């Protein structure tokens, strides 16, 4: 695609693709961060060269990004989703993992489900994870405990939306994962000896509800200058669940935003990280954050 062509959702021509390298100081992760359209960028990657994709595309919910217009017709959005995920499928290794985070809004409650169904003929839906942003637990004794943050929905019809989806797609449905790498301690320690599969370890599978609160921030514009990020911890957990030695992995995020997947890759010691972001402001922030990862 020529650089001057308009892309779905973008109200200005795409800037020339300017690859930048920001090798982190510890030298563990080689970051290849690109300013430009991810479909075009992924076309330059070889077949089956990526072990792990952790990403969050625009949700088509009218979010106010710097330049991307997040309001396509459902058909255009799903056609475009097939286009970019088609490139993901081509570059993903046979035993690779593709984690895609997507949320809904009262105005478009079907979006995550429509996206997952659109991908049904192309990937296996191996796991569905709920990213819980806030929850109230009512213990048998004592007061209810509320944790996490959410954006309140003031409505007579809708309840507050405190979760998003993370769909774990693979090419075969049979990719082994490391459940224990993201495991939790047993509440009842007698289970450690009762079950042979524990190997004496106080760790069990966490299940598919991942409580990951947003960090508390003092200044939105300084601390999180982007309207739709996932926490670094979400990407960290996806890397750990994929389970291979991070030092052997090439990881991709086609929708880099301000680079939280890149930071998680740096923290985990992923060998090579490739990212694309179409907006120059977010891209520069991602370069800064990736550069600081692992310092």
Ligand X SMILES: C[S@@+](CC[C@H](N)C(=O)[O-])C[C@H]1O[C@@H](n2cnc3c(N)ncnc32)[C@H](O)[C@@H]1O
The residue ranges that bind ligand X (CB under 6 A) are 7, 37-38, 56-58, 65, 68, 226, 228-230, 255, 257-261, 276-279, 282
Q: C-beta of 151: minimal distance to ligand X in Å?
A: 15
> Which residue lies nearer to ligand X by CB, 180 or 262?
262
> Which residue lies nearer to ligand X by CB, 95 or 233?
233
Instruction: Indicate the residue whose CB is closest to ligand X.
Output: 257
Half-sphere exposure at residue 270, Cβ-oriented, CA atoms within 13 angstroms: 31
> Which residue lies nearer to ligand X by CB, 154 or 221?
221
Query: And the tokens for 44?
Result: 């330059």
d(CA 276, CA 34): 5
Query: And the tokens for 96?
Result: 């690779």
Q: C-beta of 61: minimal distance to ligand X in Å?
A: 10
Q: C-beta of 235: minimal distance to ligand X in Å?
A: 8
> Which residue lies nearer to ligand X by CB, 39 or 241?
39
> Which residue lies nearer to ligand X by CB, 34 or 204?
34
Which residues, in sequence order, are CB contacts of 247 under 8 Å at separation 6+? Answer: 28, 269, 270, 271
Q: C-beta of 128: minimal distance to ligand X in Å?
A: 19
Q: What residues form DSSP beta bridges with 170?
A: 124
Which residues, in sequence order, are CB contacts of 205 under 8 Å at separation 6+? Answer: 179, 180, 183
Q: C-beta of 109: minimal distance to ligand X in Å?
A: 18
Half-sphere exposure at residue 201, Cβ-oriented, CA atoms within 13 angstroms: 11
């Amino acid at each position: 695609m020529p650089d001057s062509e308009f892309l779905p959702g973008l109200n200005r021509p795409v800037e020339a693709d300017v690859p930048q390298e920001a090798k982190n100081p510890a030298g563990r992760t080689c970051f290849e961060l690109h300013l430009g359209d991810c479909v075009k960028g992924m076309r330059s990657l070889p077949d089956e060269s990526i072990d792990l994709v952790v990403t969050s595309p625009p949700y088509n919910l009218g979010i106010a990004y710097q330049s991307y217009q997040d309001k396509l017709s459902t058909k255009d959005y799903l056609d475009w989703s097939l286009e970019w995920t088609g490139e993901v499928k081509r570059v993903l290794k046979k035993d690779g993992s593709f984690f895609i985070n997507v949320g809904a809004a009262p105005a478009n409650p079907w979006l995550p489900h429509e996206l997952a169904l659109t991908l049904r003929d192309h990937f296996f839906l191996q796991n569905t994870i709920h990213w819980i942003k806030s929850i109230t637990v009512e213990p048998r004794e004592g007061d209810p405990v509320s944790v996490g943050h959410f954006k309140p929905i003031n409505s007579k019809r809708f309840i507050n939306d405190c979760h998003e989806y993370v769909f774990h797609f693979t090419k075969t449905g049979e990719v082994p994962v490391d459940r224990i790498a993201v495991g939790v301690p047993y509440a009842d320690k007698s289970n450690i000896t009762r079950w042979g599969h524990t190997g004496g370890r106080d760790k069990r599978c966490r299940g598919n509800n991942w409580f990951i609160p947003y960090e508390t921030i003092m200044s939105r514009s300084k601390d999180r200058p982007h309207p739709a990020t996932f926490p670094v911890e979400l990407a960290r957990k996806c890397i750990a669940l994929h389970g291979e030695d991070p030092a052997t992995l090439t990881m991709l995020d086609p929708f880099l935003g301000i680079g939280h997947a890149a930071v998680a890759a740096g923290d985990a010691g992923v060998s090579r990280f490739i990212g694309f972001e179409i907006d120059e402001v977010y891209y520069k922030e991602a370069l800064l954050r990736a550069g600081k990862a692992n310092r």
